[in-house]
Amino acid sequence: MNFDPQTLRYDEKGLIPAIAQDHASGQVLMMAWMNQDAVAQTLATGRVTYWSRSRQAFWVKGETSGHVQKLVDFRLDCDRDCLLLLVEQSGPACHTRRQSCFYTAVREGDEVELMAPLTDQA
Amino acid sequence: MNFDPQTLRYDEKGLIPAIAQDHASGQVLMMAWMNQDAVAQTLATGRVTYWSRSRQAFWVKGETSGHVQKLVDFRLDCDRDCLLLLVEQSGPACHTRRQSCFYTAVREGDEVELMAPLTDQA
């Protein structure tokens, strides 16, 4: 079946959540949002492109930081209202320079930091 | 730092997206929503509990199907507006009886089904 970005279910703001997962390690890196054009652009270019809700603009991941996400596989869920992107991540995914945005765990009622920021070499 | 569910950033409907990932295989299983009480209940019981937007009610995952999610680790992202739950999943996570809700890929413009529904034994 031919894929049409229009057939995804976007929320009332025209957005759909997109989870980025490292294709090799399986680590969940981040969650951000796409609109229909960002979906089309991601598929057309192979470079993961979100929609920045704060800037109200396309956000080609890594365009300024260099920490790009190359699309390896594009998946959608049973309800067509969430995306899972398997990616090849250059450098850290998080703006804090951690590998993943999910670096805080809650264990026995306390917040625990699981990852340190990567150094410049990363 | 002691964790307080109030310190998470919920959307205008009081909800936060929660990604469930199989703790052993790393497979991303599903994405659903929680409100503050669902977060507190999940942490208190160790059984993943979402907020059903369609039913406007708590959704103790697996309560009717038996396909429960036992919480292994609870994580939050840098913006505190998305959760990652590492879980031990009993049976299939998806209501279609597939292991994961993300069973459809888009490859070369076509939708491709990656997983079949599990049989009754699963």
Check CB contact under 8 Å for B76 and A102: yes
Q: Which of B2, B77, B101 sits opposite A110 (nearest CB)?
A: B2
Region label for A23, one of left (φ > 0), alpha (ψ between -120 and 50) or beta (otherwise): alpha
Q: Among B71, B72, B78, B111, which would you mutate to test the A interface (most chain A Cβ atoms within 10 Å of its Cβ)?
A: B78
Nearest residue, CB atoms, A101 vs list B1, B78, B114: B78
**Quick check: A104 and B76 CB within 8 A?**
yes
SS3 percent helix, strand, coil of chain B, rounded to 5, is 10, 40, 50
Q: Give the pLDDT confidence of B15-41 residue by residue, as tens digits.
A: 999 999 999 999 999 999 999 999 999
- Residues of B within 8 A of A3 (CB-CB) are 106, 109-111
- Which residue ranges make up each domain of chain B? 11-90
Q: Strand runs (DSSP E) across A1-122, as ranges?
A: 16-22, 28-34, 49-52, 57-60, 69-76, 83-89, 104-107, 110-113
Question: Which one of B84, B98, B103 has the shortest CB-CB distance to A28?
Answer: B84
Retrieve residue A32's tokens: 């951000």
Interface pTM, i.e. ipTM: 0.95
Q: What b/e readout covers A77-97, taking b as 16+ CB neighbours within 10 angstroms?
A: bbeeebbbbbbebebbbbeeb
Q: Give the pLDDT means over successive 10-residue stretches in chain A (122 positions).
A: 93 98 98 98 98 96 94 98 98 96 97 92 52
Work out the pLDDT band at B120, boundaries 50, 70, 90.
low
Q: Which residues of A touch B30 (CB under 8 A)?
A: 77
State yes or no: A101 annotated in a binding site.
Answer: yes
CATH superfamily, with its number, for domain A11-90: Phosphoribosyl-AMP cyclohydrolase (3.10.20.810)
| Number of residues that this document lists for chain A | 122
Instruction: Give the pLDDT of residue B2.
Output: 87
Q: Mean pLDDT over all residues of chain B?
A: 95
**Annotated binding residue B11:** no
Q: pLDDT per residue over A88-99, tens digit each?
A: 999 999 999 999
| C-alpha Rg value of chain B to the nearest Å | 15
